[in-house]
Amino acid sequence: MKLKSHEVSAFIAKPPTTAPGALIYGADAMRIALKRQEMLAAMIGPNAEEEMRLTRMSGADVRKDPAQVLDAIKAQGFFPGPRAVFVEEANNTTTDALKAALGEWQAGDAQIVVTAGMLTPASSLRKLFEGHKAAACLPIYDDPMGRDDIENALRKAGLALPDREVMGHLTALALELEPGDFRQTLEKLSLYKRGDAAPISSDDIAACAPTSTEGDIDDLLAVVGDARVQEIGPMLRKLTAQGVNPTTLTIGATRHFRTLHGVAAGANVRLPGNFKVKERLQRQARTWGAFKLEQALSVLTDTDLALRSAGQTAPQMAMVERALIRLAMLGRP
């Protein structure tokens, strides 16, 4: 079944136990990863991976061994509780395997969560989930966060809903920031308001909103894209001193490399900046090529999810630095 935009958030927040699976697809890999993470947490709980109630596999794995999806949904785990099978980077070549698994699914089997990039209406994978009577097809668009999304983000951060004027300021901020950056700002606001029973004010938001450091971040990303590894450390220390957080850097890097990937893939991408900036982006896209840029986006998605993991203990900025150095090394001829 195909869900409409206003139905997607409710399904992700509380996936029905009667749904054998769900397909989450869209152009923005970071938004897809965040929605998938949210759905799995609602579906099987925060400790499912530690309790081996979550089975991960890639679309490439499924293509090599189509039967493994069916085997995984039927397998019995050692720990009690709901189970899920997560298939990432799926495409039309995985349709037959997923169709077989959905056809054999019964109550008590592991639910299937599938993620994919942008799929056309003619996609066999998209048609499979849209046409299924119980499985769901969830398109994720690059639209700004709506009021429901903002209210859900406030509740998750432990913040009470503010008055109309302050909500207007939050809505304006959500239009400027990527969803990951906005959630990071609310987490900061939650810490800022700890012990303060007063309602959220516009001054509180101003104190926690990201400062304008886009120019310096763009300079860092230009260095990474040009594979100038030795310059990454000093520039990161400068940005850290300015108060830039690791999640903001990761989201900025993802946006940069997603733009490069669009150029390399021949998509109609609107390049930001002046002539020199556009020329540099085009040159980087040619140098990297679509395949390496897909690898770069995968590295950044994994890094962002690791930063948001509750069990993560490594220094976050060090994780980002390692990821950026890895990208710069990947970009060398």
Q: pLDDT for 274-331, tens place per residue? A: 778 888 999 999 999 999 999 999 999 989 888 877 666 778 899 999 999 999 999 9
Structural domains of the chain, with CATH? 5-139 (3.40.50.300), 147-208 (no CATH), 214-330 (1.20.272.10)
Q: What is the mean pLDDT of residues 260-283?
A: 85
Express each pLDDT in 23-51 by its tens digit. 999 988 878 988 999 999 999 998 888 88
| Stretch 158-162: mean pLDDT | 90
Round to whole Å and give the CA distance between 169 and 286.
Answer: 40
Residue-level pLDDT at 92:
96
227-252 average pLDDT score:
86
Residue 96 to residues 65, 110, 153: CA-CA distances in angstroms? 11, 18, 37
Q: Which pLDDT score, from 0 to 100, does residue 196 have?
A: 87
Please report the pLDDT score of residue 207 as a whole number: 82
Cβ(181)–Cβ(31) below 8 Å:
no
Query: What is the residue-averaged pLDDT of the chain?
Result: 89
pLDDT, tens only, 171-229: 888 877 777 778 888 988 999 998 888 899 888 887 887 754 455 788 899 999 999 99
The pLDDT, as a whole number, for residue 174 is 82
User: What would the pLDDT profile of 54-73 be if each residue is shown by its tens digit?
Assistant: 999 999 999 999 999 999 99
Question: In terms of DSSP bridges, do strands 84-90 and 136-139 run parallel, antiparallel, or are they unpaired?
Answer: unpaired
Model confidence band, residue 86 (pLDDT cutoffs 50, 70, 90) = very high
Confidence of residue 9 (pLDDT cuts 50, 70, 90): confident
Q: Model-level pTM?
A: 0.57
What six digits make up the tokens of 206? 């101003």
- The SS3 of residue 224 is helix
**Mean local confidence (pLDDT), 156-161:** 88
Identify whether the C-beta of residue 189 lies closer than 8 Å to the C-beta of residue 204. yes
| pLDDT value at residue 270 | 79
Give the per-residue pLDDT at 213: 47
Average pLDDT of the segment spanning 6-35: 90
Phi-psi region of 314 (alpha: psi -120 to 50; beta: other; left: phi over 0): beta
Distances, alpha carbon 256 to alpha carbons 117, 215, 268, 304, in Å = 17, 13, 15, 14
Per-residue pLDDT of 107-118, as tens digits, reads: 999 999 999 998
Dmax of the chain from CA atoms?
59
Q: Which residues contact 77 (CB under 8 A, 6 or more apart)?
A: 51, 52, 53, 83
pLDDT given at position 296: 94
Given a cut of 50, whether residue 151 has pLDDT beyond it is yes
Query: What pLDDT does residue 311 have?
Result: 66
Question: Which of these ranges, 13-17, 19-23, 157-161, 285-289, has the smallest mean pLDDT?
Answer: 157-161
